Amino acid sequence: MFKIFTIITACIAVMAGTANASGIPDGKALFSKNCASCHGMDGTVSDYGKKLEPFQARNLRAVASYVSYDEFRRIITHGTHDTKMKAMKYILDPFEIEAIVDYVKTFTYKPNLANGQKRFKQVCASCHGFDGRAQTGVGAKNLVYSKLSLNEKVHTIRYGRSGTLMTAKRHQLSNPDIADIANYVDSLKHAGDAKAGAKLYAKNCKSCHATPSSIQIIGNAAVRHKKIADLDDHMLDLRIRHGRHVDREGRESIKKLSSDNIQDIVSYLRKNSK
């Protein structure tokens, strides 16, 4: 049944000029026929697409490499409620939609970090802080230490986190802005420097913990021996700053360490413990 369906679709597609002789739908031709009027042949939105209400067509080029196949497939198949983006499942079959997604995925975009920084200050800094470290007290995350990949950051900016102050920004920002901001945020990422960490460790920790492997981490009943590797960076940061150090003598020197210092130490600990 499936095979027959495939063959029939393929024949129709060949007749319509949107498939090659072997029956594989031609994504570019399908895009040109069904999408370009609004999104522009290069994905950067046509003049007509810019005038649509209530929301203009979106720039597909800017987010093509950050948005997953699944998400593209879903939006194209089902459309977006109450907008001019109609469900395509009534006019295109799944193979054609797949071919269009493949074509959209060939779009490339060079992010503009200066614009990303400017827009971040305007739209995000009130909660995340101008430096992204979120010392604003509203529960926003420190983006410098975010574990999210670039694509996950784009997703979070687009859809937000329901039930928190992090609302969806998909209609507040254009796709180029979203791509620029996400890349800017990603560039704030602090990758711990193990070499600097080794020096800091020797100065601040060695007197009590001869080596990283000698540090005893508290586990719970089920996990008797927790290892440094069992804790993520954020947790390890908390254990070093607070945890059992709170009432120790070495506390004062630990307090003076900056967030980046601690991440450097963490990176050193990871390289030198199991």
- List of residues contacting ligand HEC (CB under 6 A): 34-35, 37-39, 52, 55-58, 60, 63, 72, 75-76, 80, 83-85, 88, 100, 104, 123-124, 126-128, 138-141, 143, 146-148, 153, 156-157, 161, 164-166, 169, 175, 181, 185, 204-205, 207-209, 215-218, 239-240, 243-245, 248-250, 254, 265
130 CB-near residues (< 8 Å, 6+ apart): 121
By C-beta, is 19 or 254 nearer to ligand HEC? Answer: 254
Radius of gyration of the chain (CA): 25
Give phi and psi for 117, each to the nearest 5: -65, -45
238 CB-near residues (< 8 Å, 6+ apart): none
Please state the closest distance from residue 47 (CB atom) to ligand HEC, in A: 12
Cα–Cα distance between 250 and 236 in angstroms, integer? 17
By C-beta, is 3 or 31 nearer to ligand HEC? Answer: 31
Residue 148 has a CB neighbour count (10 Å cut-off) of 16
Please state the closest distance from residue 145 (CB atom) to ligand HEC, in A: 8
By C-beta, is 7 or 55 nearer to ligand HEC? Answer: 55
Peptide bond into 54 cis (omega under 30): yes
Please state the closest distance from residue 77 (CB atom) to ligand HEC, in A: 10
Structure tokens at 116: 């990303």
By C-beta, is 10 or 197 nearer to ligand HEC? Answer: 197
